[in-house]
Amino acid sequence: MIQTTASTGSLPTIPTASKMPIVGALPFVAQKQFDYLKEAHQSLGDIFRVDLGLTDVVMLNHPRHVQYVLRDNARNYRKGGNMWESVRSMFGNGLVVSEGDYWLRQRRMMQPHFHHRYIAGLLDLMVTAIDEQMATWPESDANFDFSTAVNKVTMEVIVRTMFGTQLNQAEVAEVSVGLGHALDYMLLGVVGQSLPEWMPLPGKKRYQDALALFDQLVYRVIEQSRKNPEDVNLLTMLLNTVDAETGEQMTDQQLRDEVATIFVAGYETTAIALSWAADYLARDQKLQDALHTEIKQVVGQDKPELGSLKELDLVKRTFQEALRIRPSAWFLPRLAVEDDEIDGFPIPAGTQIALMIYHIHHHPEQWDSPDVFDPARFKKEESQSRHSFAYAPFGAGQRQCIGRDFAYMEGQLILARILQKYQLSPIGASPKPQLSTTLRPKNGVHLALASKA
């Protein structure tokens, strides 16, 4: 049962995961990483607390919690607390962190440019970027660093669609490395928000340097784009956007914040999903053969077009399943504004909560054999039998990620182009998830790559 209540004094205490005095669960998290949270969910149920020493978080692990926090009582759960302060240090006041009237204004201005028909206009740019990067891949490789390679592909796609050709390859590579470190640091930055500003934190200087480089490049490209407003890319679209109510356009700072949000989401989320998808496909020859067959029947060796994407149903479902079994955004934090009650437990004002998307995507009430990779889950008849909030890789409610359609198109295109050319085979055991801001495969995905030609 979920309901709002005026008083929380008579309610039971939320169970707390294993911890130690003063430092809380930090030693367990450091040792067990993601397994610590999985074990806590299995032993304590759908709601439990994790003590992180200087802060603690209530973990919510059922689809009903997503519905309640992101839709039914969304007004009470804001993007506040240490988690979001850490995120804001990177994204400023971009859509992913802004709220209230300002968020509504920005969303209203940007939404039309992320409608499917507008994103479709970027398809040729995407395919060109994909093909240029894949042209650097070997015909075959017994130990191919797939994660690094596909990161370069998604980086090239987002750079080309966002900025056109205004960054050179050395700058793209530098940004890629810097953003990877920044995303790793943000989770540590949650704890750092409770420490004095002068106190050193491992990786903090490198994080600040990475953001400074990103800002330098983005502001340079914004200036160049203002001089060439007819270029076809996302930044130019945003530059030319006008608020219908005020007639105002975005400032450079606002553009920077929105670019940072879209840039990271379009690069990191898709790259991670594709890495996991490739690892699972390499270990399931039957599924990989079915994908090869579908791709051959729909596009052969031609470049995919908008119409053919609609027919690549198994390709899309495979990408969807990768986002289920290993969601890039594996948790969504919020801060309770007023006293509340969830599942009969008190949620006092000021409580930091986290919707555990990973556990929700593996909840046994919603998913049969949740640890098995099975794209058939996303056939229409299968999807209709689940809770409507059981799948939330892009969030839910009015705050659902604006770039969802972009990510689906990008993921389908890259997966199709890879499988048009290559056969994938596994090397060693499947990697474990790495506990970071996003759910990357620990040490990356390495595969045996063989040309189909």
Domain containing 112 — which CATH number?
1.10.630.10
pLDDT at 192: 55
Q: Which of 208-212, 261-265, 395-399 has the lowest mean pLDDT?
A: 261-265
> How many CB atoms neighbour CB 350 within 10 A?
12
- φ, ψ of residue 114 in degrees (nearest 5): -110, 10
Q: What average pLDDT does the chain have? A: 87
pLDDT at 312: 97
Domain span at 403:
2-451
pLDDT at 200: 62
Instruction: For residue range 281-302, list pLDDT tens digits in order.
Output: 999 999 999 999 999 999 999 9
Query: What pTM was estimated for this model as a whole?
Result: 0.89
Per the document, the length of the chain is 453
pLDDT at 239: 87
* pLDDT class of 19 with cuts at 50, 70, 90: confident
Q: Which of 172-186, 381-395, 407-421 has the lowest mean pLDDT?
A: 172-186
pLDDT at 7: 45
Contacts of residue 386, defined as CB under 8 A and 6 or more positions apart, other chains included, come to 63, 366, 367
* pLDDT class of 61 with cuts at 50, 70, 90: very high
pLDDT at 298: 97
How many domains, in total, are found in the chain?
Answer: 1
> What's the whole-number mean pLDDT along residues 124-145?
94
User: Which of 34-43, 108-117, 221-230, 370-379 has maximum average pLDDT?
Assistant: 370-379
Res 205 pLDDT > 90: no
d(CA 294, CA 420): 10
**Cα three-residue angle 332-334-340, rounded to 5 degrees:** 130
Instruction: Work out the end-to-end distance of the chain between its first and last CA atoms, rounded to an integer number of angstroms.
Output: 57
* pLDDT class of 6 with cuts at 50, 70, 90: very low
Question: Burial letters for 273-305: b for 16+ Cβ neighbours within 10 Å, e otherwise?
Answer: bbbbbbbbbbbbeebbeebeebbeebbeeebbe
d(CA 442, CA 276): 11
206, with CB counted inside 10 A (0-12, 13-18, 19+), is middle
pLDDT at 186: 67
Q: Which of 15-24, 213-222, 255-264 has the lowest mean pLDDT?
A: 15-24
d(CA 162, CA 268): 14
> What's the whole-number mean pLDDT along residues 405-415?
94
User: Which of 58-62, 258-262, 264-268, 399-403 has maximum average pLDDT?
Assistant: 58-62
Q: Which of 98-112, 274-288, 417-431 has the lowest mean pLDDT?
A: 98-112
